[in-house]
Chain A
């Protein structure tokens, strides 16, 4: 059987197709991987610093902790580790937005996630009108061993944190503070979060 001899034009087309496929392979190898490409934009801040996220501006205003906390509206929580209380302010610039998701990243790179639901670790952030500030709290239970140097990431999208940008705050926790918090005998009172000026 005689193999058909390809014409010059056919060879050229074949070469172009192979070149396109190879270029595609090279591109796929050098573009960021699916996981990396899909991660949220993270903006790093220190305590007291304000960051502009796509959805609004966020400022972490204070960090405290204790073995036991008593939220204003809720049950007393006693922890085998520590409960961190992080207070922050949020001013949305887009309607229907508030902070609903958080991630505590400790010094050993372990992650504890927090959302609006939960009794022990929970974010409480009442939704204010656009342009108005609300005071929020994030309660996070964590092991004290790696709390010094921990960061808290906060974002508006709990459904999928990759959908939006997040503020990552360096909580500036020292070993001395961790020891102080562990030694607290009384439960720490946590005031109820509210929109500024409302009860």
Chain B
């Protein structure tokens, strides 16, 4: 080894470290344009298939926690949806599409605000199919909320206000454990690998679809 290299070996060793640190320090765009724009921070399920999910809402003025234990009960294709009166009503989906019913079980403190979540089915290729309103037609009864019961949604934040989320006047508190149902439209032939639940990207809960019987 030349004497110059030997004399400067500390600096030479630190050079790659400095280069990497410089690149990382100027990578704020990765956070703003990529990390917070998609689902990149997943919470996996435990051995029994339950995700203990923890996130928070923080807009600089109002902060509240979002914490729940989430389990996947069923993912099954449907061709009818029951109406309020219990009568099965046919489902009209777009050409080449099918409709899935996703059943979830939530366990959470009734004082935690949980409304306003999104749900998606993810297939083996990693393609994400989000549950969106009005993607199919049916006279059957479809729920309004995706992560809380329709009659007792629990605390909800008021849009544009910095007041903490609270239960609406005259509404009963949300039960500590409850089930929800959401409908997702995918192309025919999709094999669900997982169901994702999230409130604010990048954090999400990943619930694997283990049971072969609940696939299409």
Contacts and interface: CB of A to CB of B under 8 A. Distances in A.
Q: Note whether A and B contact each other (Cβ less than 8 A).
A: yes
Interface of A: 93-96, 127-133, 195-198
Nearest to A134: B94
A95 B128 contact: yes
B15 interface: no
Interface residues on B, range: 10 to 19
Nearest to A94: B128
A33 B95 CA distance: 45
B97 A197 contact: yes
A127 B94 CA distance: 12
Contact of A132 (B95, B120, B128, B130): B95
A95 B39 CA distance: 12
Contacts of B152: none
Interface of B: 92-97, 120, 127-130, 132, 135, 137, 185-187, 190
Q: Which of A127, A129, A197 has the most CB of B within 10 A?
A: A129
A195 B130 contact: no
A129 B128 contact: no
Contact of B130 (A95, A196, A197, A198): A95
A161 B65 CA distance: 36
B127 A132 contact: no
A46 to B, nearest CB: 25
A129 B186 contact: yes
Nearest to B130: A95
A131 B95 contact: no
Given A129-B94, A129-B185, A131-B187, A198 B132 contact: no
B131 to A, nearest CB: 9
B63 to A, nearest CB: 26
26 contacts: A95-B128, A95-B129, A95-B130, A127-B132, A129-B129, A129-B132, A129-B135, A130-B127, A130-B128, A131-B96, A131-B127, A131-B129, A131-B186, A131-B190, A132-B94, A132-B95, A132-B96, A132-B187, A133-B94, A133-B95, A133-B96, A196-B94, A197-B93, A197-B95, A197-B96, A198-B94
Contact of B185 (A93, A94, A132, A133): A132
A133 B187 CA distance: 10
A23 to B, nearest CB: 15
B93 to A, nearest CB: 7
A27 B129 CA distance: 43
Nearest to A131: B187
Given A132-B97, A197-B95, 19 more contacts: A94-B128, A95-B129, A95-B130, A129-B94, A129-B97, A129-B135, A129-B187, A130-B129, A130-B130, A131-B96, A131-B97, A131-B129, A131-B187, A131-B190, A132-B185, A196-B95, A197-B92, A197-B96, A197-B97
A128 B94 contact: yes
Contacts of B186: 129-131
A110 B93 CA distance: 42
B137 A95 contact: no
B75 to A, nearest CB: 16
Contacts of B187: 129-132
B116 to A, nearest CB: 16
Contacts of A93: 127
Contacts of A195: 94, 135
Contacts of A133: 94-96
Nearest to B92: A198
A133 B93 CA distance: 12
Contacts of B94: 128-129, 132-133, 195-198
A93 B135 CA distance: 16
